[in-house]
Amino acid sequence: IEVVCGYPGTPSTEVILTLLPQKEELGIHIEWSTNEKVAFEIAAGAAWAGKRALVTMKMSGVNVAADSLASIAYSGCTGGLVVFVADDPGVSAGMPEEDSRYYAKSMVVPMLDLASQQECLDYVKLAFEISEKIGGPIFLRSTTDISHVASDVEIGKKLKLEKREAHFERDIVKYTKAGATWCMAQHQDALGRLAKASKISDSYITESGIKVNETHFEDGSEQGVIYAGAVEGNFKEALKKYNLKLSWLKIGMV
């Protein structure tokens, strides 16, 4: 990652607070931006120039960045562009109770839904890989339960990426929203990127052995559970505590 931008808001603030003290050592640009829209546009500009960029915000911040998000989602990007958004179900610390998954759906952008602290590490790597393979932005969704819990994680191999020279390729048809024909073509491109991301996630297993989408069939079970995100910990605990024999489907990309 070469550019990290964001606007503070629980439970997303800690991402930049953790990275800031390491700014010089990492040799990357990190900033608190004026607001979420500005943060996203700076990150998008870096990604358009071929660099990897991360932008952070809480759920209500997506409202502020929505105009730019919707537009750039159709245009795509060259470098990896990851939008880390932290929702607050139950409004334990935030302003309103919002579900950013609906934004991902309306903007035709893939979203990885974090279910554990290990996934917080693994899915950041995966998110950048998917973003660059499909040529478009991707959401990485956390929640208060995930962001404010600590646990041991398996670090794995450290990635070594060479610094990239910034290069922006002028393409009016790709980046402009001035004509209906261009917009319709961009919409089809966005749908294609979403389908490609789905195929990648279906077969992907992280370095620590986590499957993005996973199915478990329990012998003799007549019932099953479909879940996504932070409820995984509660669900797995209930299975063990009450000795439940249930089949289940975990959806990591929504």
Closest CA to 86 of 121, 117, 107, 59: 59
End-to-end CA distance of the chain: 24
Same-domain pairing of 161 and 224: no
Q: pLDDT tens for residues 148-195?
A: 888 888 887 777 777 888 999 899 999 998 889 999 999 999 999 999
Q: pLDDT tens for residues 243-253?
A: 999 999 999 99
Residue 49 CB contacts under 8 Å (≥ 6 apart), including other chains:
78, 79, 166, 167, 168
* Strand residues in the chain grouped as ranges (E): 3-6, 29-32, 53-58, 81-87, 111-113, 138-143, 213-216, 224-227, 247-251
Q: pLDDT tens for residues 25-40?
A: 888 999 999 999 999 9
Structural domain total, the chain: 2
What's the domain range around 229? Answer: 213-251
Same-domain pairing of 229 and 140: no
CATH number, position 96: 3.40.50.970
The pLDDT value given to residue 129: 94
Same-domain pairing of 121 and 247: no
Same-domain pairing of 70 and 43: yes
Task: Tell me the average pLDDT of the chain.
Answer: 93
In a domain, 208, yes or no: no
Query: Other C-beta atoms within 10 Å of 22: how many?
Result: 11
